[in-house]
Amino acid sequence: MPHAALEEGRTAVITGGASGIGLATATRLAERGLNVCIADVDGEALGRATQSLAERSPRGAAAILGVETDVAAIESVAALRDAVLAAFGEVALLMNNAGTGGGGRPFENREGWQKVLGVNLWGVLNGLQIFTQGMIDQGTPCAIVNTGSKQGITNPPGDAAYNASKAAIKSLTEGLAHDLRGIVGCRVSAHLLIPGFTHTGMMKRFLKEKPPGAWLPEQVADHLLAGLDRGDFYVLCPDNDVTPEIDHRRIAWAAGDLIENRPALSRWHPKYAAAFEAFMARPRD
């Protein structure tokens, strides 16, 4: 059964909605007959995406809204909420999806860190603080999706700022789910989207052509909606190279660093290369 927040005529709000996973999800929802509001900091891309969604919606432009939004600024997110409520009267799905990368290592690029944390973490937190109570007060089935990343779980070297922001989103969303289920009469569910290797706009800056191993944003959107329909909290996406079994083992190894007191990020430590390879290759239990 579809999640009741995704029924025809209800309203979805998606930040970072002018491209990538956000736009792919918005398109799927528009095709289902939902009202869809996309928010993005890129006004030109927002205009193109809004027009595309109107063409895909069975109800046309009347069901689509684009709002230029800086998710790192809480007053901008508040203006987004006001615009959505004025247009459609409710919010059934909030997808805090806007994201950026490029912060770098912990001891450098302070401005990069501020940007990444401002968009990736504070953008999510601003969305929660502005929208959640109103969604609870509606008394209707609703869903909140926060876009995390496998990098916030297995923490691969390369962009510590991005990893830290996505690790924080995981923790934040887990806390949100716990708090929501403790509120009497609350009908809002929380979900953590964990994409795999996906050829999004962020990725296209480095890889113009889609690598064979990467998923398309539309595949992530379909996986997300199927997960919501099942009621999953963790919506962990595979890709064309990484199976669920590989993901599970990598996550288990990362947790084992703490349990076994191995060196941090031992998966990439030369002394543990053989042990990690053997762990990944062992027969399934």
pLDDT tens sequence across 63-110: 999 999 999 999 999 999 999 999 999 999 999 999 999 999 999 999
Using alpha carbons, select from 87, 69, 65 the residue that is nearest to residue 77.
69
Query: What structural domains does the chain harbor?
Result: 4-241 (3.40.50.720), 243-285 (no CATH)
List strand residue ranges (DSSP E) for 125-184, in order: 142-147
Which sign, positive or negative, has the C-alpha torsion 243, 237, 40, 11? positive
Q: Give me the chain's average pLDDT, please.
A: 96
Q: What is the pLDDT of residue 2?
A: 84
What lies within 8 Å, CB to CB, of 223 at 6+ separation is 235, 237
Q: Is the confidence at residue 182, as pLDDT, over 70?
A: yes
Q: How far apart are CA 27 and CA 242, in angstroms?
A: 26
Q: Is the confidence at residue 231, as pLDDT, over 70?
A: yes
User: Annotated active-site positions, please?
Assistant: 162
Which sign, positive or negative, has the C-alpha torsion 73, 77, 82, 83? positive
